Amino acid sequence: MNSREAFYIGGQWRVPLSSEQIEVHEAATGEILATVPSGGAADMNAAVSAAGMAFPSWSTTDVKERSAFLRVLADGLQSREDELADVMAREVGTPIAASRRVQVGLGIGVFRSIADALDELPMEQHIGNSVVLRVAAGVVGAITPWNYPLYQLAAKVAPALAAGCTTVVKPSSVAPLAAYVVADVAHGAGLPPGVLNIVTGRGAEAGEVLAQHPGVDVVSLTGSTSAGARVAELAARSIKRVTLELGGKSAFVLCPDADLEAAIDAAVRTAYINNGQTCSATTRLIVTADRLAEVEERVVALVDALVVGNPLDPATTLGPVASAAQYRSIQRYLDDAADQGTVLVGGQGQVPGQERGWFVRPTVVSRVSNTARIAREEIFGPVLVVVPVADVEEAVQVANDSEYGLSGAVWAGDINQAVAVARRLRTGQVAVNGGRFNVLAPFGGFKRSGIGRELGQHGLAEYFELISLQLPSARCVETTEGTAP
């Protein structure tokens, strides 16, 4: 049991004002892994107050000092890599190798990349007779999801601290333990009291209080589209800035001249990453009808080769989903799958030999119309749908025919053709012929996939406000950049 009994508020571990606890379950067994306190309005008020008191000092801290803190945090998290990988494999179900590489490695990489971005971003800019200042936006409320607990926290906390903001983090009640490790590391690194505060709790009791709190200036949420709509509604009451990274139903466009061996390998890998619990997963494979049969054969072979099992076993390539609620949600989609297409592999029911925990059979449903429910709604599990089209023109239309626009992929034999198709997709990022995810590039979506961007300089910019100093043309003033005319 890795239980926690306090919140991290104002640089101290504080006993909750309520005795209510949240049980954290191990995805592979369903057993209780830990308990954490369930915070309410009074606890969240204390955290926001601590962040507000710390803001004047932290926001005026030298940029180089803030950058150095981010690197110290990254180093501290690196020193606890094994612990973090283990706990997120248990909470989320991520296979241990992927947990170490993605869950931990990506989160640490974000802290370091934001430090680099801060070093490169000028805090002042001269435009005519004006000096434009970048200043910290204020107190940030960060509401993070359960599928990537450390990475998503890093994508909000790192740029907020870099910009000079102070933060209150409300991690998911399904997977809150990595946030406690971050607090441990920050405390050991000497981060000033109140700059980072962590309060665990349920969305309706803690998250909603944070989203509408008058002491919070910016709210950043990663979660479902419905959660994003609720947070935006609450934040709008006090005209807060919001960044929302929400759902997706992303398309993988397979052009007729693509190398099928390489392309299908990438399509299966990106659909089932983190057991399908990834908002940017490309879960619609769009294929021209003349290659459909060959594609189906290759997809089935690769999915059949997945090793479903305990995420702590190094041989496992697909683990369980994170919760009983998520398991039930996926099964409801699979109940109707045969009516919406041809189930090639997987389907309803438990994985043989995995009766404990929340294991979903990796599933492929082919010959699906893009109007079908399983082609339009985010399932958030190991389910891939194959949508046949007549040609590339129809493929682009189908890819864009979605309420979402978070991610996508294009694979073609000719890289120039692949880029030309990718340019036509209405989505926040597109992997071209297997192009890798880049933590320096902006991440975010169109339409119901969200508002704003995370990562790199574009994500850092979300946490600044701009002030224009309009100067007399004949007057010079000293600035941190030198003498401004």
User: Over the stretch 49-80, which tens digit does the pLDDT of each residue have?
Assistant: 999 999 999 999 999 999 999 999 999 999 99
Mean pLDDT of 87-93: 98
Confidence of residue 476 (pLDDT cuts 50, 70, 90): low
Which residue has 């369980």 as its token pair?
Answer: 320
Q: What is the pTM of this model?
A: 0.95
Q: What one-letter code names the amino acid at 127?
A: I
| pLDDT number for residue 484 | 43
- The vertex-175 CA angle with 233 and 97, nearest 5°, equals 125
Q: What one-letter code names the amino acid at 72?
A: V
| pLDDT number for residue 19 | 87
Distances (CA, A) of 445 to 248, 384, 404, 407: 8, 21, 8, 7
State yes or no: pLDDT of 269 exceeds 70. yes
Beta strands in 336-382 (DSSP E): 342-345, 363-366
Q: What one-letter code names the amino acid at 183?
A: A
State yes or no: pLDDT of 245 exceeds 50. yes
State yes or no: pLDDT of 366 exceeds 80. yes
Residue 420: count other Cβ atoms within 10 Å of its Cβ: 14
Q: Measured between alpha carbons, how far is 462 from 159 in angstroms, rounded to an integer?
A: 8
Distances (CA, A) of 158 to 27, 231, 414, 452: 28, 21, 38, 16
* Cross-strand partners of 342: 366
The helix/strand/coil state of 83 is: helix
Mean pLDDT of 228-243: 97
Q: What one-letter code names the amino acid at 46?
A: A
Q: Which residues does 209 contact at the CB level (< 8 Å), separation at least 6?
A: 40, 41, 44, 45
Per the model's pLDDT, the better-predicted residue between 163 and 476 turns out to be 163
Question: 444 is written with which tokens?
Answer: 């975010």
For residue range 191-203, what is the model confidence (pLDDT) as tens digits?
999 999 999 999 8
Residue 212: count other Cβ atoms within 10 Å of its Cβ: 18
For the chain, list the domains and their CATH numbers.
7-246+449-468 (3.40.605.10), 251-432 (3.40.309.10)
Name which of 408, 453, 451, 456 is nearest 433 in CA terms. 408
Q: Please indicate whether residue 245 is annotated as part of the active site.
A: yes
In percent, the amount of the chain with pLDDT more than 70 equals: 97
Q: Which of 329-338, 350-359, 407-416, 432-441 has the lowest mean pLDDT?
A: 350-359
For residue range 307-359, what is the model confidence (pLDDT) as tens digits?
999 999 999 999 999 999 999 999 999 999 999 999 999 999 989 889 899 99
State yes or no: pLDDT of 474 exceeds 80. no
State yes or no: pLDDT of 478 exceeds 70. no
How many C-alpha atoms does 475 have within 13 Å on its Cβ side?
10
In degrees and rounded to multiples of 5, residue 434 shows phi and psi of 85, 15
Catalytic choice (26, 208, 245, 378): 245
Q: Measured between alpha carbons, how far is 152 from 142 in angstroms, rounded to an integer?
A: 9
| Contact between 270 and 281 (Cβ < 8 Å) | yes
Q: What share of the chain is helix, strand, coil (3-state, %, to 5)?
A: 40, 20, 40
Mean pLDDT of 379-388: 98
Q: Measured between alpha carbons, how far is 296 from 158 in angstroms, rounded to an integer?
A: 42
| pLDDT number for residue 477 | 59
Mean pLDDT of 432-436: 97
Distances (CA, A) of 460 to 87, 106, 277: 28, 17, 26
Catalytic choice (165, 208, 279, 378): 279
| pLDDT number for residue 483 | 42
The helix/strand/coil state of 389 is: strand
Q: Helix count (H) and strand count (E) of the chain?
A: 17, 24
In degrees and rounded to multiples of 5, residue 130 shows phi and psi of -115, 150
Distances (CA, A) of 298 to 135, 187, 291, 295, 431: 53, 50, 11, 5, 21
